[in-house]
Chain A
Amino acid sequence: MPEYNVIGTRLKKVDGLERVTGQARYGADIHLPGMLIAKVLRGPHPHARIIRIDTSAAEQLPGVRAVVTARDFPPLGELEPANLGEMTIDMGAMAKLIMAHDKALFQGHAIAAVAAVDPFVADDALSLIQVEYDVLAPVEHVLDAMQPDAPLLHEDLRTRLPDGKLSERASNVAAHFVLGYGDVERGFAEAEAIAESSYTTRMVHQGYIEPQSCTAHFDANGRLTVWTTTQGSFTVKGQLASLLRLPHSRVRVVPMEIGGGFGGKIYILTEGIAALLAKKSGQPVKLTLTREEVLKATGPGAPCAIWVKAGARKDGTLTAIQARMSYDAGCFPGSPVGNAGLTAVAPYKQPHLRIDGFDVVTNKPRVQAYRAPGATQAAFAVETVMDMLAEKLGMDPLSFRIQNTPQEGDPMANGRPFNRIGLQAVYDRVKHHPAWTTPLSGKNRGRGIATGYWRGGTFTSSCHVAVNADGTLEAVVGSVDLTGTRTSLTQVVAEEFGLAPEDVQVTVGDTDSVGYTDVTGGSRITYTMSAALHHACQDALHQLKQRAAEHLEANIDDIEYAQQRFFVRGSPDKSASLQQLAKASVMGSGPILGKGTATRMGLAHEFAVHIADVEIDPDTGKVKILRYTTFQDVGCAVNPTQVEGQMQGGTVQGIGWALTEEYAYENGLLRNPTLLDYRMPTALDLPMIATEIIEVPAPDGPYGIRGVGEVPIVPPPAAIANSIYRAIGIRMRELPMSPERVRLAIEQHGNSDAR
């Protein structure tokens, strides 16, 4: 690791003061003169044709200023995909998702919306809207939806088959693809031990504590401004321009502080409605979702059914892996099954691989990205099968994984080679760590291990850096700050210029003030925006060197910069300070403005290994986590405190996914749309989460930074399932492994295995 002055330090969060004093402005913290409050009427049926909507009584209620339905959307026209980061949806589907057009496709689907002078009038107006439905049979479970006689959501949806052609008949299966290489039949024939099993996982939610909230306003010129809690201001701009048929120059998006996203705050589910109401009413309109709406009608994480089979030789070398993954996309195509296929077997080198992936629609809210979308579910399946295989071979699970670790140059699931990866180094740290080597004793206690992988996205990041008249710096970045990138990026700029962090100001720009930047997601901001800032800083430094060269009457190639001074190489007394040149820049020599963009950078693979120690209560089935340790290759930890925070936070979301979180559907109706019964982990459910940072620099970018945010959520369900097996001899195959399910499994299995 190179020696840095600011990068690698635990700089305190630069925007922490406003958060601990309640001054930070999140989506709902905005009040504009004349602002109206919007409320959404949501359909009660999981599947229904909409025959008639009568909004006349609602429109006449005093205090109501606008009512919209799908009729108020511009005609859908050409379908085009929306640029959304790690997942996609076409804009025609997006429009129908934002508000039901001819069909209500899930319980909670928006049918109409009102804007009124206060929330009470808005609520009263909703109750005056009359809707006539033709109720249809819903289909809820992914495997049921795949049956030939299942009710169809979309009469024009046909399956895109592995050869690229479309199926003859309409189906709920939107796509069937095949990933892999070699010949798995041959691979399994060569195997001396084989393990296989089937798994199911339930729908979960990202669980951000802040519900979506946005405020939209058309000014006198017809220009739309939207203040919103979002992961991608430019992405929202593009989606709104597309939905409303506006030129992009007529749309401005101002990102507010965001209270958690995790992939679920990218689509314009609220912005679209608020904008239509703002247009119709002529006043600013604020739409804030209730928690019930967040759970019922935003974009959860995908449920799935997965079958995995793996074979290995006696010495532990894998010969083949085969999997069948059916992912539930909710009511429109686009589940993360593709990502699942690409990531599930990444920790393993195998000569023969075949993954059949199915993208399936059901009568549930359309899923969105949830922190490493698709990977957690797939890792649950693959990592437990590998555990079973290791056991059959008489190998310990860590040695088995080490035996099959891929190296740089080995193929990924899509056949392309890995660039430099750090999985080996992570295993090396695990091998000697007390979390692995210290024996765990006691009744009904067990230790499990699992490996996770996420590839991350890179996309486009833009910024500029301006030198102020006193030599302090201002950097404007296009990326929304989800959890602390202002701080890590401050460190990068300070490092580039040799300044103290206090002399650097990093601002998140709105869409008027900075170059196009893709969503904050995909573990990509610190990685790519630091590269963009590097370019911008080098650009600014080059401009300063030009000024210095003129001032010092030297050749620009002879100008060096150190410790805030520009000097002629070999003549250190011939120098000009940064502050001098900065002052001159506002006195006629022209401002210094550096520009930077990072786009299409190489992948910076994320690998993590988790070890879970659990204790099971055989009477209640409750799983208590005694100890939890995470190991992760982060490339270069710009701010170790923040890196640890990512590792811990993602881990705990994974623990919730593993043990308590699920959407309890009954005939397409959600029985637990509150945070009481959609049970996320509390502080009382957890021990401290230990973190071990490994740094194998990524090959691309100036600092070797890797994305860190997503892979922590991938291993926990598998690590915990493997620990439950070692505790009580039972393999859990369903998520979540709730007390009820564990208790039932114990009963079915017989208590004799609890040791």
Chain B
Amino acid sequence: MKRPLRLTVNGQVHEVMVDTRQTLLDVLRDVLYLTGTKEGCGNGNCGACTVLMNGRNVLSCLVLGCEAEQQDITTVEGLARDGTLHPLQEAFIEHGALQCGICTPGFLMSAKALLDRHPHPTEYEIRLNIAGNLCRCTGYDKIVRAIQAAAESS
């Protein structure tokens, strides 16, 4: 069954028709064509679909599209401002914190949520807060270093 949905994504208001069974992830990718947010598992175990909803990091594969009515969503496409990369995006490239890059959007959003709350996390706090994001290419070493560097630069 289809119903209208009104939500803000990366500062832009959208009014779209969605199927009530679609997740927020489906809406972002297949209705709004914002494919930066990825589906890795569909049931909340890999973190690739992480977005910010009203500033809080959520797994968009576990949020129904309709739950995002009137909500404020930030995806990886909204991290850079006016062509200027977010310090996390800079740091990830600088420190080789991505290889295939499929997990990177999810990590960036989780890391942003962490740094917005705790601007100077310890290594343990970083690892704890990104433990819900799986990466299979990097072994996490350079991701942790990149987040540390971004924290230091801010």
Contacts and interface: CB of A to CB of B under 8 A. Distances in A.
Interface stretch (A80-88, A543-551, A646-654): A646-654
Given A291-B40, A689-B139, A209 B35 contact: no
Contacts of A652: 138-140
Contact of B93 (A17, A207, A257, A676): A17
Interface in A247-287: 257-260, 262
A438 interface: no
B89 A21 contact: yes
B146 to A, nearest CB: 10
Contacts of A644: 96, 141-142
B45 to A, nearest CB: 4
B35 to A, nearest CB: 4
A658 to B, nearest CB: 13
Nearest to A206: B136
A291 B41 contact: yes
Contacts of A206: 136
Interface in B45-96: 45-46, 48, 75-77, 79-80, 85, 89, 92-96
A29 B35 contact: yes
B134 interface: yes
B92 to A, nearest CB: 5
A587 interface: no
A403 to B, nearest CB: 31
B135 interface: yes
A23 B101 CA distance: 11
Nearest to B144: A683
B144 A21 contact: no
A12 interface: yes
Contact of A28 (B35, B85, B101, B137): B35
A674 B45 contact: yes
A20 B78 CA distance: 11
B149 to A, nearest CB: 13
A10 B97 CA distance: 13
B96 A645 contact: yes
A652 B42 CA distance: 24
Contact of B100 (A10, A23, A259): A259
A645 B137 contact: yes
A259 B76 contact: no
B38 A259 contact: yes
B30 to A, nearest CB: 7
A692 interface: no
A207 B136 contact: yes
B79 to A, nearest CB: 7
Contacts of B127: 683-684, 686
Q: Indicate the member of A16, A118, A262 with the most B CB atoms within 10 Å.
A: A16
Interface in A206-241: 206-211
A642 interface: yes
Contacts of B105: 20, 22
Q: Indicate the member of B94, B95, B100, B139 with the most A CB atoms within 10 Å.
A: B139
B21 interface: yes
B36 interface: yes
A113 interface: no
Nearest to B133: A683
Given A29-B35, A209-B40, A209-B102, A649 B96 contact: no
B141 A689 contact: yes
A381 to B, nearest CB: 24
Given A13-B93, A20-B93, A257 B140 contact: no
B12 to A, nearest CB: 15
B85 A208 contact: no
Q: Indicate the member of B100, B102, B108 with the most A CB atoms within 10 Å.
A: B100
Interface in B108-145: 108, 126-128, 130-145
A50 to B, nearest CB: 28
A645 B136 CA distance: 11
A24 interface: yes
Interface of A: 10, 12-13, 16-17, 19-26, 28-29, 31, 118, 120, 206-211, 257-260, 262, 288, 290-291, 482-484, 641-642, 644-645, 648-653, 674-676, 680-684, 686, 688-689
Given A641-B95, A651-B139, 8 more contacts: A16-B92, A22-B36, A208-B102, A210-B38, A210-B40, A291-B46, A641-B142, A689-B139
6 contacts: A20-B101, A208-B100, A209-B135, A645-B96, A648-B139, A675-B46
